[in-house]
Chain A
């Protein structure tokens, strides 16, 4: 590896940090708020250094009161600040859904645009770390179901920074989902910038369109390497807005569509994409749309049991190959 390439490789977690630092730097109205995000730098160290650099007035430690501080962040967004508010584990959103569901998502609409709610809800998630049923859930479909929320899931180092900046600059509430298994991943932070709302063709292929997002992108890319079938892998990047056009135009060409996500398959976001593809590509697909997600059981603690539930590259390549052999 050349020295230059080694310098270019940035960790995902640092790219997130850079995105927030740039946002804090370029706009005085931006604040960072959450449990342990200040002096402690966050339990995963995502906000490390921001407190020292921007001070406790802008990088604010909150008590363990998600309903209170997430609601306060929404109130602050309504009145001139642009908060980046952290929910330490996505599972914890259960205690603070109201400010997101009933306040942030609806206040612009209910006031006919008189109120603007520029806020980023950072939520860390991800199974595969023996964190158990209350620290492992991928709940992005919940938020994509609520009109008025944008939902982004950066899968790459570049997107960790770029989507963070785009989310802060956006005048709407954005649910920003970080999979902690990506935190240590490395890549080029300046690769291939795309706006929020556009999907990326992460790997070109001919026979099967694989749609995925977040941490599962890596698994799908591995599957594409391993598979005897030619997989075109699409990183959706955001569920809302949903870049259906990129998905449909690829599937139209390959004639086969496979959707992969870490979240529970039943009633997951994959079902929506499958339904849309069914509605619009019924005559053009060679095989029925297929989905791969976690089975409908809570995530167990044991790493062995977890592994039994999470989609693997083998399962993905096998599914892709069976689609090719079907038609």
Chain B
């Protein structure tokens, strides 16, 4: 059972880390628009015309 002495603090640290990461993400606009960003990369195809390549 001694392994608990390592595992439990580790899980608490991870928990706090995940919480901080999530808060950071919320504060940095990551959850403001849940619809558009997911689709944007699908649209970002290379230009098809010579003119556009410049």
A-B complex is real = no
